[in-house]
Structure 1
Amino acid sequence: MGFLSPIWFLALAALTIPLLIHLWNIRPGKTLKVGSISLITEASKTSSSSFKLLHILLLILRCLLLALIAIFLSKPVWEKMISPSKTKGWILIPKENFNETYTKFKPQVDSLTGKGYELHYFNEGFVKRDSTKQQADTASNTNYWGLVKQLERSGQGRPVYIFTPNFKKHFKGSKPTVHLKLKWQTYTQADSVSKWIASAAFTNDGSIKVTDGTSTPQGTTYGSKILKNDGDAVHTVRTQNGRTSISLNGSKDAPVIVDTTTQRIAIYTDNYPLDAKYLKAALDAATAFSGTKTTIKQYNNTAIPLGQTWLFWLSDKPVPSNISTQSKHIFAYADGKPVDVNSWIEPGHIALKKRISSKENDSQVIWTDGFGDAILSYSNSSPASWRGRGGLYTHFNPAWSDLVWSDDFPAMILKLLQQQPASQPNGRDRRIINNHQLQPDIVNYNMPISPLRESGQTDVSGYFWLLLMVVFAAERVLNYNIKQRENG
């Protein structure tokens, strides 16, 4: 028996209340009937009291009633315990891919179960599996490192064998350090390649630009191509009810609706019209290459129409809140005092002559200088901002760097426009993690062996509630009968 909220046992102090009530018994004086009171002299009035337990059964019922209330509020649960002598250890396999994993490691699993190891799911609660009988697998994105930490807290002191896939999506956070007798084996699942349509949009000439994502154990890549309305050998294009959709041939995924919106790009020049000129040329080249429907406009005042896809804020002043909240992406100059440097910009190894000191420490770094400090960082806020707390720590100006003269400049801008800051959908991720990298840090010491707990806890508070009602009813009936006898 266990209790989820044992603090409520402090309520047992209330047992003193019925005990005091029964001990402090005020006894009324007796009335003596006489014929005449003329010969009786007046005496002082007196009353008597005694500390004596009366109606002991009623006292017991009331104390039991208060005790049951405290137990009910403490949320009692029933935990099964397995005798330590019957189990040598656990075998843990994720429920979502049990069949494939068991088939992959069948000889090892069968050998361990024959030696007395129990088969449990490597999922929340570590539920025991009765057999290796084939059952339907269910999809899940369990964090295996988090489960290992829970396993240590469960009091499992015997050897544990874990068999899992090695997809990177299952290993989140920092690698744990645990005190467990643990052996972990992994494998790459058969379904190790995933393909999907990341995006699709109409171009200026009415064609469709589609971006496909491919995830393999080696990594995730994206590729784009221009399609006509009849599709190609890989893609199927359909138009229904005025909406055009595209899907991968042979895929069970739902078709992706082709985006018909126009990408709107605004450049705020402020005191940097020359910088805006170089940026505009790079944007023209990048959007012409991508073929997506795009409009690019420059503004020398803050009367910028709301709803911009991209806002390039070439100014030392902060972006007004009304413009900031209505722009999907913001690319801004960082504020601060410029300093002369002799370094370069990566990627591209482009000469860097002047920069603003970086203050970023919590944003995703996109471009760096030769010392690894941020030149451009990304903050995945709302709206998504290519500035974080600072921004571009240089300027689009030949006096600051050779970036605007570089052949890589339009390509770097294009990559920003097409950048998908969020990673691929987690269900699509087929990247794997090295077996050495995934192994938790094991701290070896003689850990005492405790009884193994069956996973899951049975809530028994309902039984105590029923018993509470029975005792309450019995107390009321007994109290009524006592009063009837005393009054009668």
Structure 2
Amino acid sequence: MQFLNPIWLFAIAAISIPVVIHLWNIRPGKTLKVGSIALITAAAQKSSRSFKLNDVLLFILRCLFLSTLAFLLAAPFWQRSQATAKTKGWVLIPKANLKETYKNLKFTVDSLSKAGYEFLFFDENFKKFELSKTLNDSLLKDKPEVKNYWSLVAKLNEKLPPALSVYLLTPNQAKYFNGSKPSVSLNLHWLTYTPADSVSTWIESAWFTTNNSIKVIEGNCRPSGTYFTSYIIQSEGDPKSPFVVDVNHGSPVVSLKTAPEKHTPIDTGALRVAIYSDKYSVDEKYLVAAVQTIIDFTQRKVVVKKYTDAAQIPVKQDWLFWLSDKPVDASALVKSAHIFNYQQGKIELESSSIKTSSAFALAYKEDPAAIYKLVKNEISDGKPIWVDGYGNPVLTQEQSPKTTQYHFYSRFNPAWNDLVWSNKFPKLLLKLVLYHPDYEVLNSHDLTRIDHRQMMPNIIWSAKKIDNSKIIVQTDLSRYFWLMLIAVFIVERWVAHKNKPVLK
């Protein structure tokens, strides 16, 4: 028996609790009735304490309960080897796409089934299933889950020998692939198909503009890619508009005429941006110019105010740009939902470029901005959002319960980088201010098709040294420990209630 989370085995030490409870037994003194104490010689008072194990069965049950709970949390499983001679090969299909996969690759699936291949679900457990029985299951519905197929292939590589033939049948959409290609030593045949619902249209966002019109961003996704279209709905209404404006629970919403049940709220508020600067007046001008570009492009209601005294910054700011070498004022930290501050530390010369998310680079196809100076810290604060060519953080995100703080390891100044001269600067700022920095425009609507050559992992036959005649099979034992835990708990409660003294 092995464990996925063996650190939980330290919880077995909790059995010391019932040991102490059962051993610590203070006996009360006995009362003797006598006629007179006149002839009893005075003696020194003595107290005694004895350690005795009472209710042995109850003690054993409680220790067994705690031990079983620790084993359950450690995720036990039984691992064994199985000869490959018993199987022709494996066919793996995502459970959520099983019926659609069979519909698109019916001839291949039927041929592999007749050839004696075993069918397994393509997930973390690789559980076997009977093809005909599962396809006829009325409870099985296609509910696609976005999982990283590359990480599953890497896990599959740990279980199978290189000699075993493996057929992987999946959709060919890019949303199922993330990170770097794994290097595996599998006899892998990866067959894909384009799902039927490869066209998607949705409302990404909507807001009231400065002239009280409604601007709607419509997303359109095709296998060839994703694009967005902006529409302006005049306040007096437009019968030719593909949208329906309504009120839901007192708030304005907009929906597509083709899908009126899917409402998107219309943002009626104004974005409040505060800019604090002391000696960085030049940086402030570049920032204000970029924010004004965002306002002109999006036509959103944005209130921008500049401050030189932190005490004058009002509360309930959406963004605070702290352009200063001083630490962010404690009072300012609670006034803004998002804070962008200059990071302090040792300044070093740099000869590299600023790299943002891959999705952004793919969408705009622009060269990264050069960087000349960078604040170097051995320990960076938060999650990297932008990095340089060497992997050093340029912008990091630190999340707290009430505030999201962004630490910038450079400056909005041409002496530090070419970012402020680049036309990508307002675009990056737009993504940062109006969306999450990790926001992917494709997200759950992504239907982009990925090429088979991009999808296939790197095949390295010498990557794995195991017995080519064995398959590593794992059996989850959690269900048995759950049954044991429930049974022990019921018996412990019954014994404890049975031994409870009756009060008269």
TM-score, normalised on structure 1? 0.66
AA in 1 matched with 2:193:
Y
Matched residues in 1 for 2:199 and 2:103: separation? 20
Tell me which residue corresponds to 1:256: 264
State yes or no: 1:393 paired with 2:399.
Answer: no
Matched residues in 1 for 2:269 and 2:314: separation? 16
Q: Of 419, 430, 441, which aligns to 2:458? A: 441
Tell me which residue corresponds to 1:364: 385
Tell me which residue corresponds to 2:218: 212
Does structure 2 retain, via aligned residues, the 8 Å contact 1:215–1:429? yes
Structure 1 gap segments, 5+ residues each:
12-61, 470-488
Tell me which residue corresponds to 1:290: 298
Shift of 1:161: 0.7
* Partner SS state of residue 444, structure 2: helix
Matched residues in 1 for 2:77 and 2:352: separation? 65
Q: Deviations over 1:333-369 (max 9, x none)?
A: 45467789999999999998x9532538862338x8x
Matched residues in 2 for 1:334 and 1:163: separation? 48
RMSD of aligned C-alpha atoms? 4.8
CA 1:357–1:83 in structure 2 vs 1: closer, same or farther (change >3 Å)?
A: closer
Q: Of 310, 313, 332, which aligns to 2:319? A: 310
The number of equivalent residue pairs is 403
Q: Deviations over 1:351-406 (max 9, x none)?
A: 98x9532538862338x8xx899996353645444534x2x43427xx87898788
Tell me which residue corresponds to 1:87: 87
Does structure 1 retain, via aligned residues, the 8 Å contact 2:276–2:307? yes
Does structure 2 retain, via aligned residues, the 8 Å contact 1:196–1:212? yes
Tell me which residue corresponds to 1:102: 102
* Partner SS state of residue 125, structure 2: coil
Q: Deviations over 1:52-87 (max 9, x none)?
A: xxxxxxxxxx9xx99xx79x9578988999885552
Matched residues in 1 for 2:77 and 2:426: separation? 65
AA in 1 matched with 2:183:
T
Tell me which residue corresponds to 1:224: 230
Does structure 1 retain, via aligned residues, the 8 Å contact 2:244–2:260? no
Tell me which residue corresponds to 1:19: none
Does structure 2 retain, via aligned residues, the 8 Å contact 1:161–1:184? yes
TM-score, normalised on structure 2? 0.64
Tell me which residue corresponds to 1:379: 397
State yes or no: 1:268 paired with 2:276.
Answer: yes
AA in 2 matched with 1:307:
K
Deviates more, 1:276-285 or 1:157-166: 276-285
Q: Deviations over 1:301-342 (max 9, x none)?
A: 002112212222222222224423542333344546778999
Matched residues in 1 for 2:292 and 2:486: separation? 76
Matched residues in 2 for 1:325 and 1:407: separation? 33
Matched residues in 2 for 1:239 and 1:224: separation? 21
* Partner SS state of residue 153, structure 2: helix
Tell me which residue corresponds to 1:171: 177
Matched residues in 2 for 1:377 and 1:402: separation? 15
Shift of 1:89: 1.1
CA 1:359–1:82 in structure 2 vs 1: closer, same or farther (change >3 Å)?
A: closer
Does structure 2 retain, via aligned residues, the 8 Å contact 1:198–1:211? yes
1:450-469 paired onto structure 2 within 5 Å: 450=470, 453=473, 459-460=479-480
Q: Deviations over 1:71-117 (max 9, x none)?
A: x9578988999885552111111111112212222222221211111
Shift of 1:466: 12
CA 1:159–1:417 in structure 2 vs 1: closer, same or farther (change >3 Å)?
A: same
Matched residues in 2 for 1:364 and 1:416: separation? 10
Tell me which residue corresponds to 1:235: 243
Does structure 1 retain, via aligned residues, the 8 Å contact 2:78–2:476? no
Q: Deviations over 1:100-154 (max 9, x none)?
A: 2122222222212111112222123222231243553233223222322333344
Q: Of 188, 203, 214, which aligns to 2:209? A: 203
Does structure 1 retain, via aligned residues, the 8 Å contact 2:218–2:229? yes
CA 1:460–1:233 in structure 2 vs 1: closer, same or farther (change >3 Å)?
A: same
Matched residues in 2 for 1:464 and 1:364: separation? 47
Does structure 1 retain, via aligned residues, the 8 Å contact 2:201–2:219? yes
Deviates more, 1:447-456 or 1:297-306: 447-456
AA in 1 matched with 2:112:
L
Does structure 1 retain, via aligned residues, the 8 Å contact 2:346–2:375? no
Structure 2 gap segments, 5+ residues each:
13-56, 356-363, 490-504
Q: Deviations over 1:416-447 (max 9, x none)?
A: 54454222474222234332232233333674
AA in 2 matched with 1:363:
P
Q: Percent same amino acid at aligned positions?
A: 35
* Partner SS state of residue 309, structure 1: strand
Tell me which residue corresponds to 1:323: 332
Tell me which residue corresponds to 1:38: none
Tell me which residue corresponds to 1:475: none
Matched residues in 2 for 1:358 and 1:143: separation? 35
Q: Deviations over 1:248-287 (max 9, x none)?
A: 2223763011122211111213224454355445534542
Tell me which residue corresponds to 1:427: 444
Tell me which residue corresponds to 1:56: none
* Partner SS state of residue 140, structure 1: coil
Deviates more, 1:284-293 or 1:80-89: 80-89
CA 1:403–1:443 in structure 2 vs 1: closer, same or farther (change >3 Å)?
A: closer
Matched residues in 2 for 1:393 and 1:332: separation? 10
AA in 2 matched with 1:115:
A
